[in-house]
Amino acid sequence: MVMRIMAATSLVTLLTFAIWAQRGQAPAGAPAAPAITGSEVAAMIAKSPSDKNALGQRMLQLGTYNVNMEHRVMGQAAAVHEKEAELFYVIDGAGTIVTGGKLVEEKRTNDANLSGTSIQGGVSKRISKGDWIMVPEGVPHQIPTVEGALTVMSLHLPR
């Protein structure tokens, strides 16, 4: 009986040390943490055209997650992402976002996304610098109006 207790204690101790030794270590070949500085973001904004929207400018990438900058000077079509949520952060400027409701003149753009000319029955909200907006998957959304210029960070969050 004493031998069994000693063997079990030794095994638990050995496993504890093995687990402890692995904690905090990145797997071999793991990428470094991507980062972007405020001055790099400012340079991206400065390079954005003033007469048309510049969408999908890659800021960061990690695996399937892409952080994009969208610089808008005018409204854009409505969208629904059927398999992912979308997080927006307003870097600069102001505009209006409409969420919910139903797409008008709905068209399939690919196997997981729909677009429309506008949204019927949605909720409008003014957004400005510093605001965060989380759009759940399957929810129509659109930024139909922009007050001068609007720069947002967009992160799609797949299921």
Higher-pLDDT residue of 19 and 31 is 31
Q: What is the pLDDT of residue 29?
A: 66
Q: Which of 2-11, 50-59, 62-71, 88-97 has the lowest mean pLDDT?
A: 2-11
In the predicted model, what is the mean pLDDT of the chain?
A: 86
Percent of the chain with pLDDT over 70: 81
Q: Please list the residues that pair with 95 across neighbouring strands.
A: 127, 146
Given a cut of 60, whether residue 4 has pLDDT beyond it is no
Percent of the chain with pLDDT over 90: 71
Q: What is the pLDDT of residue 5?
A: 45
Given a cut of 70, whether residue 146 has pLDDT beyond it is yes
Q: What is the pLDDT of residue 27?
A: 64
DSSP for the chain, please give it. -HHHHHHHHHHHHHHHHHHHHHTTPPPTTPPPPP---HHHHHHHHHHS-SSS-EEEEEEEEETTEEEEEEEESS---EEEESSEEEEEEEEEEEEEEEESSEEES-EEEETTEEEESEEES-EEEEEETT-EEEE-TT--EEEEEEEEEEEEEEEEEE-
Domain residue spans in the chain? 36-158
Q: What mean pLDDT do residues 24-49 have?
A: 82
pLDDT tens digits, residue range 77-129? 999 999 999 999 999 999 999 999 999 999 999 999 999 999 999 999 999 99
| Choices 3.40.50.970, 2.60.120.10, 2.40.30.170, 2.102.10.10: CATH for 36-158 | 2.60.120.10
